[in-house]
Amino acid sequence: MSTTRNVISIGNDKYLDPWLRPASDAMKQIIEYAKHDIERSEDRRRARKPADQAIFNQIVAGVLCAIAKHHLLGLDGWLVTTRSNDRLGSAGRYKSPLASKPYPKILDALAAENAGWIEQRIGVQTRLSGAPATTIRASKRLQIYLEKHEVDVEDIKRAAGGEIIHLKAPKKAGSDGAKLIDYEDTEQTKNWRDRLTQINEFLESAEIIVGDLEHVDPTQVALRRVFNNGRFDHGGRLVGGFWQSMSSKDRFNEIELDGESVVELDYQQMSLSVAYGLAGHPLPAGDLYALDKLESVWNPTIRKRVKQYTNTMLHRSSPMTRRPKDIEPLIVAEGSSEREITASMVREMVLAKHQPIEGWFETGRGMELMFHESEVLFCVAEALMKKSIISLPIFDAILVPGSAASEAEGVMKSVFEQVTGGKARISKETGAS
């Protein structure tokens, strides 16, 4: 059996996506081969009941599609899953369609020597899970079959289903991420889900072309909204699209929407702009990160540091008296010497410049501000969908077809004012050198 136990994983592991299904006859045929191997090795006196057979079919297809896509994308590491009876038997809105009592046995059967479709490790310490987990990946045999049958990533697609409105618990110190938590639906969560489902259906049917790039899954267009800290007024960003992890250069060079090159439209200094809008104050002239006392030494590096300090102040709940560890020192030249502008000095400058929105600084309201940002992008995607304009959201920006840039910019400004009450500044980038 291709199974090892009690190991430490140091690779770039990812959670198994249980919603992947075959989208071609070639991938379906490979799944049939695997099912036949398992059924041939079983000591069964009678056939499975129809309901049990359906579960068996779904598990085999889901597991093989997940590890096949992981391999075809050229990703390293393993896929993380669970054999825990408690977790497999639990209900809840995030429940995997593969989670059922037969799941561990089917994993073992797929890893058995007479099948050899997957490699499996049990009791793995991985960065993704606090408790030991099971990890799987494509075996050499599966890799050979994928090549022989000329299967590519387009032959495996995500089935409809799965929760798209996610709520995460507060992140614990030292952990890589926060856990998903269940919640009772409200009219608001139902509304968000219905609207996002429409956006996803629109994106699924849209003409979105991406070049053949390693690690990029062009079928991954469905979006989720992820809320934070156990609250639906914290966070709420749209995540999940393949384009979000691509470099800016690759987005411009490799993505086409409706047969056209893309344009990126970006809300400038969005967090501060949203804060001014919600406070009912007009935006100051010029760059919102620019500080008068640093005007004589201003450069891109200093702007980057000031931006980091400013955003830190929007998220922290106490005065910033020391430089955070993740921010490099802000060094300025003075004649032939240099000196550091301390965190306290930057803090005073930022508060002086942005006195109209001082209530948003150092009050722990950063994730609340992010919620309003996410509402803007969500409403923009919806408004453009209604105009049959494809838009791919990237946190505080969108990609649109070049010919739709002007109309999309007007929608962005209008939606921003509706959501925040303020005016937005939009930048446009075409990627042209």
Q: What percent of the chain has pLDDT over 90?
A: 77
**Beta-strand runs (E) in 285-360:** 330-334, 337-341
Quickly state the pLDDT bin for 194 (edges 50, 70, 90). very high
Note the pLDDT of residue 277: 97
Residue scoring higher pLDDT (12 or 427)? 427
Quickly state the pLDDT bin for 6 (edges 50, 70, 90). low
Residue 364 CA, distance from chain mean position:
24
Q: How far is CA 68 from CA 60, 64, 355, in A?
A: 12, 6, 55
Note the pLDDT of residue 127: 75
**Residue 136 pLDDT > 90:** yes
DSSP line for 241-255: -GGGGS-HHHHHHHE
Q: How far is CA 37 from CA 69, 83, 138, in A?
A: 21, 22, 16
Instruction: Give per-residue pLDDT as tens, 339-359.
Output: 899 999 999 999 999 999 999
Dist CA 155 CA 73 (whole Å): 12
Instruction: Give per-residue pLDDT as tens, 218-274.
Output: 989 999 999 999 999 999 999 999 999 999 999 999 999 999 999 999 999 999 999
**Residue 174 pLDDT > 60:** no
Instruction: Give per-residue pLDDT as tens, 315-324.
Output: 999 999 999 9
Sign of CA dihedral 330, 333, 338, 341: negative
Rg over alpha carbons for the chain, rounded to the nearest Å, is 25
Structure tokens at 72: 């075809």
Note the pLDDT of residue 327: 94
Which of 29-43, 96-110, 398-412 is most confident? 398-412
Quickly state the pLDDT bin for 42 (edges 50, 70, 90). confident
Contact 412, 267 (CB under 8 A): yes
